[in-house]
Amino acid sequence: MNRIPVEAHVPNGGTHDRALRLHDGAERNPGMELRAEEIASIRVNRSAVELRAATIPARRTVKKEYQAAWLLRAISCIDLTTLSGDDTPGTVERLCAKARRPLRDDLVSALGVRELDIKVGAVCVYHTFVTTAVRALEGSGIPVAAVSTGFPAGLSPMAQRVDEIRASVEAGAREIDIVITRAHVLLGHWDALYDEVRTFRDACGDAHMKAILATGELATLSNVARASRVAMMAGADFIKTSTGKDTANATLPVGLVMTRMIRAYEAETGYAVGLKPAGGIRSAKSALEWLIMIKEELGDRWLSPKLFRFGASGLLTDIERQLEHHVTGRYSAANRHPMV
């Protein structure tokens, strides 16, 4: 039998429940005052980071029913995303149906996980489709995330970006993915970056804010670390690697730098900030590597959709294929696992 023990769905025992409580309500990251001199002094040893990142897929692996369990956890952490120029209301509605039932019924039954009621972490769309997604997800408990602030470049006028956030929140988005002005990082204008992210956080109100750093456009890992720190100081609930539209998206070295900054911030302030890698994560193998890194660097508390998300669309298809292989011993064609 290839049924998955329910306790295996939470890698190493389920201590993430405390994180769920810590990250709710009043325990959101309130931010802190900017310390610009501290930010400017941050340095990252690129060689050491790349060496450490290279050990993650080389040293760690999970097999058989535990691999399947980790992949189920990965599904629950996906921000199922459609950000294409040819999106239509019908496309979004079909994506929301997939978000509600990300696994085929026969796989759910074969794995023995029906009682887990597995769903994705959120559905991420352009502002235009927030109302459509909210309606399609009604009653599911799945939040709608809207990309905002002139996504993906973030170069529209400031007032327009703020208005876009407020419009998405008013339309029902419970999460807002904002993009920073990369020039603030490249020029070392930390006060401008802090003020920008703080303004966006205020506009979000009760909606959780994910700050997209566009790490592939920040030139150095030191800049990635500095931008991560400033975004958290300004009150970001999550820091996110990329827009998915960049030439370089989520990589393990970048993720390692960001997790280290999250860990340091939590140690200093007591507030847990989430991480969202996005762009280029399309295989179950890559998802497992990210989950292993999160477990090693931040601990089981972060193995939860409250503190960790994948920004992805094609990833779910490969995870389904791997789970079908676990059940049947055979790999199926991707068209057996359609997204929309």
240 catalytic per annotation: yes
Rounded Cα–Cα distance for residues 291 and 73 (Å): 9
**Side-chain half-sphere exposure of 37, counting CA atoms within 13 A:** 0
What are the beta bridge partners of residue 274? Answer: 238
Residue 146: CB atoms within 10 Å: 29
Rounded Cα–Cα distance for residues 103 and 115 (Å): 13
237 catalytic per annotation: no
Rounded Cα–Cα distance for residues 74 and 87 (Å): 25
Catalytic residue among 98, 119, 276, 306: 276
Rounded Cα–Cα distance for residues 310 and 78 (Å): 5
Q: What is the DSSP letter of 188?
A: T
Question: DSSP letters along 6-65, please?
Answer: GGGGSGGG-THHHHHHHTSGGGS-------HHHHHT----HHHHHHHHHHHHHH----HH
Is the peptide bond preceding residue 57 cis, with omega within 30 degrees of 0? no
Residue 24: CB atoms within 10 Å: 10
Catalytic residue among 79, 177, 237, 246: 177
Dmax over CA atoms of the chain, in Å, equals 59
Catalytic residue among 119, 210, 240, 306: 240
177 catalytic per annotation: yes
Burial class (CB in 10 A: 0-12, 13-18, 19+), 36: middle
**Could you list the active site residues?**
177, 240, 276
